[in-house]
Structure 1
Amino acid sequence: MQNRFFAWLFARIGARNEARGNADLRRELLAGARGRVLEVGAGTGLNFPHYPPGVEVTAVEPEPTLRAHATKAAEGTHITVVEGLADDLPLSDASVDEVVVSGVLCSVPDPAAALAEFRRVLRPGGRLRFYEHVRARTGPRARWQDVAALVWPRLMGGCMPNRDTRAAIERAGFAVSHCRDLIFPPGARISVVAPRVLGVAVSQEHHQ
C-alpha cells in the first residue's frame, strides 16, 4: 500500500500544522488515555509525544514510508509500530482498551468495515478517540467539499473531504460521549479539510 507522493506531502504539511496548533489538539485527543491503546493510521507518529505516561501503544500504519518515519519516532518509547490495515488489524478480539484515530476515517475505503474492526479489538466498554475532518454543517462550505471530492482523493491518498464521520461512528455501534466541532486552522475559509470533529465514543454491547 505504497504512496510515496502522499507520504512526502504528509510529512511536509504535518510538521507545519503541528506548530499552528495541531499539537494542542492532539494533546486534547489523548488526555486521559489509559491501558492498552491501538492507534490506527499512525502516519509519521505525530501523536506519539502526547500519550500519557504508562500507556502501552501499538501503532498500525500501512504505508511503508510513513511507517518508517513512525518507527523512528517511536524509538526509546513504549510504542510498537506494526504493519496493518484499518479493516484488517493484526490484533485479537477484545484485546485493547482504547482505539485512536486522527485523519484516518476520511481515507479508509470502507469506514463501516474499519469501525466494525475497531469494535472487534476493543474490550467491552472500550473507547474510540477520534480527531477527523468532516463534511461541514453549513451549505456553501459543504457544497464546496462535495465538488472537491471529485479530485481531492486522487491527490491525497484516497482522502474524502466530505464524510459525516460522527454519524458513521454512531451507526457502527458507538455511543459518542463527547464531541466538539472546530475549524483548523482557525479562521480557514477555503480549505476543504478545515471542518473537524474531536471526541470520544464508547463501544456499546454487541447484540446477536
Structure 2
Amino acid sequence: MGRDTYVHHPVFARLYPTMGRAMERAGMTERRQALLARLTGQVIEVGAGDGLNFAQYPTTVARVLAVEPEPHLRSLARTAASQAPVLVEVVDGRAERLPAADATADAVVVSMVLCSVHDQDTALREMHRVLKPGGQLRFLEHVQADTSGLARVQRVLDATIWPRVAGGCHTGRDTAASIERSGFVIERLDRFLFPDARTPASFHILGTAVRSGSS
C-alpha cells in the first residue's frame, strides 16, 4: 500500500459504524435512499466507509466500485458488500487519485466524504475525470452554515479540534460551490438540517450534479 493511498484513523474508524447506525435510526436512511434512487449502470462510490449505502442500491445498478482508504472500514465494507443486492467490489484508494480509467462511470456517489478529503478540488476533478460525459455526481454532505455566526464557529472548530476527533472531517466547507467550480452543473439541490437543530454540524445538502464537457 503506497503512502499516497494510506489513511489510518483507528479510533474514529471503530466509532464510525456506531455513529452511522444512530444516524440511520434518526432518519438518515430515507436520505440515503433518495441519494441512490434510480441509479443505473456502472457506479463508483468514493469513501464507502463501512458500506452503509450498499443495501440501498437499486438493482438497476450493474456494478459498484467502492473506494475506501481506511483499512478497518474497508474490511467492514467487504462484509457489507457480500450482502448487497448488487455487485460491489471494495478496493483501496483515495478520492484524490481514484483507481479507475477516464470516462468509465455512469455515476459517482459521495456520502459524508467531501467534508473530510484532504484536497476537495482535486477529489472533485478526479470524480469529473472518471465520469462519462453527462454522468451524474450524487452527493449527500454536511456543509457550511447559513449564518455568519455559526460559520465562524465552524471555522474555529475546523482549525482546531474537529478534524482530529472526526477523522479529518470539516464542518464548514462550501461544497456546492466546489462542485460547480470543478466542472459540474448542479441539477438538484436540497438543503436540510440533520439533526433538526441549528448546530455547526447540522447543515446538509443532498443533490445531483452532471459532468459537463465532452472530454
Is the structural similarity TM-score above 0.5?
Answer: yes
For 2:177, the aligned partner's letter is: A
Give, in whole Å, the separation in 2 of the partners of 1:100 and 1:54. Answer: 15
Query: What RMSD, in angstroms, separates the aligned Cα atoms of the two structures?
Result: 1.1
Give, in whole Å, the separation in 1 of the partners of 2:208 and 2:214. Answer: 18
Partner residue of 1:91?
Answer: 100
Query: C-alpha displacement at 1:206, in angstroms?
Result: 5.2
After TM superposition, the runs of 4+ consecutive aligned structure 1 residues lying more than 2 A away are none
For 1:108, the aligned partner's letter is: V
Q: Percent identity over the alignment?
A: 48
For 1:69, the aligned partner's letter is: L
Query: C-alpha displacement at 1:140, in angstroms?
Result: 2.1
Query: C-alpha displacement at 1:147, in angstroms?
Result: 1.7
In the alignment, structure 1 residue 202 sits paired with structure 2 residue 215:
no
CA contact (8 A) 2:67 2:90 kept: yes
Number of aligned residue pairs:
205
Structure 1: tracts of 5 or more residues without a match: none
Give, in whole Å, the separation in 2 of the partners of 1:137 and 1:203. Answer: 27
Give, in whole Å, the separation in 1 of the partners of 2:18 and 2:10. Answer: 12
Give, in whole Å, the separation in 2 of the partners of 1:176 and 1:19. Answer: 29
For 2:137, the aligned partner's letter is: L
Structure-2-length-normalised TM-score: 0.92
Please list the CA deviations of residues 81-113 of structure 1 after superposition, one character each: whole Å capped at 9, or x if unmatched. Answer: 111110111111111000000111111110110
Which of 28, 37, 58 is the equivalent residue of 2:65? 58
For 1:61, the aligned partner's letter is: E
Query: C-alpha displacement at 1:200, in angstroms?
Result: 0.3
Give, in whole Å, the separation in 2 of the partners of 1:172 and 1:206. Answer: 14
Structure-1-length-normalised TM-score: 0.95
Please list the CA deviations of residues 154-188 of structure 1 after superposition, one character each: whole Å capped at 9, or x if unmatched. Answer: 111111111000000000000000001100012x2
Structure 2: tracts of 5 or more residues without a match: 1-6
Partner residue of 2:4?
Answer: none
